[in-house]
Amino acid sequence: MDLSFSRLLGYARINFTHATSTISLKRKDGSEISLADLCKETTPACKLNPLLFNGHLQTAWTTQDKADIPITYKRKTFESDNTSYAGQFAVDFVVPNSMDPSKVEKDASLPQRTTYYTDQAFGELGSSDSKPMAVVLHGLSGGSHEIYLRYTLAPLVSEEGGWEACVVNSRGCAMSKITSSVLYNARSTWDVRQTVKWLREKFPNRPLFGIGFSLGANILTNYVGEEGSNCVLKAAVVCSNPWNLEAGSLALQRSWIGLEYSKVMGTSMRKLFSLHEEQILKNPKIDREKVIKIKYLHEFDREIQGPTWGYPTEGAYYRDASSTDSLLACRIPLLAINASDDPIAVDEALPYLEVQQNPYAVLCTTSLGGHLAWFEAGGSRWFPKPVTEFLQKMAKEIDLDGTSKAASGGPVAATQGPTFQPMHRKWYVHEKTE
């Protein structure tokens, strides 16, 4: 079929980029399958709404998606266990019978279908359950309430799906409070690290998996890279990861429509600042007069993220917080899904060469889909299908303790002489001395 005609019909080409030989996964029946083949096996054909025939239309339509997917949460607020990142953060747990409308409770101080755990109820959470559990990270200024996130969770946490799940809300998001001058950034892995540690202690029998969307995908990839071979997650999926933040930012600034996307994101972050202004301005390095004039996302990163974390420019922050190099350090099965027409997580920023150097990762790209969109005819979305199929196969068919380690392949292999250390970051915490 002619590619242009195929595009008009909504058919998206699917490409897989990976190492020549990816890791071998042992099935519970004793057979083996490569990570690349598993990803291909669990990725269905991508036929999207032909009226939304490019990334801009697909992305714009996300603002019109009024679908109601009734996921119900209970929130627990944690205090950071690391004084370098003082403050609190909120984790929303999907509750049993989450999609039953009769179970809906209300709390005006929280997003819809979200209420706080009582101390008693939280203390009674069991530890013998062996259900697989997803740890989810949302996109920029989002939260557990986001529709793209609920599209993905719904089939997993249904009675048939059999999963548990929780969403780590970035600080200040989803109507959570900020109790210090520490907001969050594109490499703020400390809260997800504490959450995973707590989950492993509380639910020692549950296999844990990661799901990240957009900025949350970047954070999750950074976390998996930082943990390396010690990562306790069994596998991870990242959707619409922006990967190379500097390349993405410069691409947005090259066109008027790119600047419109940047303006929308900058406005959402400026609103977040306004909600938590008193706490954030406890950092004397932040100039309120400059912040209130912010128009674009890169200006927010210049005036807030730079002073907060000591970066001299937004470019320095982007280069240090990008997850492209982190991909090279991932040592668990990782599936990345991006659309090559994504106007925000742009194609030129995708790690095509890096993923070929790591047998633990596979990059799936579609020729259509936009940013966290992938709308099909009828209004449903395509991306939850490969995400949930991959995770279900990993949890139910793969022997999670039988995954063989790669014997060779780029940075995974033992080498002599100079080596590249992907997780040697430029930003660090100055240790306090007595």
* Interacting residues of 300 by C-beta distance below 8 A, sequence separation 6+: 266, 269, 270, 273, 291, 294
Instruction: Name 91's bridge partners.
Output: 76, 168
Q: Which of 138, 145, 298, 371 is catalytic?
A: 371
Q: How far is CA 71 from CA 158, 165, 237, 392, 412, in A?
A: 10, 11, 20, 19, 39
What radius of gyration, in Å, describes the C-alpha atoms of the chain? 21
Instruction: Name 334's bridge partners.
Output: 236, 361
Three-state SS annotation for the chain: CCHHHHHHCCEECEEEEECCCCCEEEECCCCEEEHHHHHHHCCCCEECCCCCCCHHHHHHHHHHCCCCCCCCEEEEEEECCCHHHCCEEEEEEECCCCCCHHHCCCCCCCCCCEEECCHHHHHCCCCCCCCCEEEEECCCCCCCCCHHHHHHHHHHHCCCCCCEEEEECCCCCCCCCCCCCCCCCCCCCHHHHHHHHHHHHHCCCCCEEEEEECHHHHHHHHHHHHHHHHCCCCEEEEECCCCCHHHHHHHHCCCHHHHHHHHHHHHHHHHHHHHCHHHHCCCCCCCHHHHCCCCCHHHHHHHHHHHHHCCCCHHHHHHHHCCHHHHHHCCCCEEEEEECCCCCCCHHHCCHHHHCCCCCEEEEEECCCCCCCCECCCCCECCHHHHHHHHHHHHHCECCCCCCCCCCCHHHCCCCCCCCCCCCCCCCCCCCCC
Is 371 annotated in the active site? yes
Q: Which of 145, 298, 342, 367 is catalytic?
A: 342
Closest CA to 336 of 45, 26, 17: 17
Q: Which of 188, 214, 322, 367 is catalytic?
A: 214
Catalytic positions are 214, 342, 371
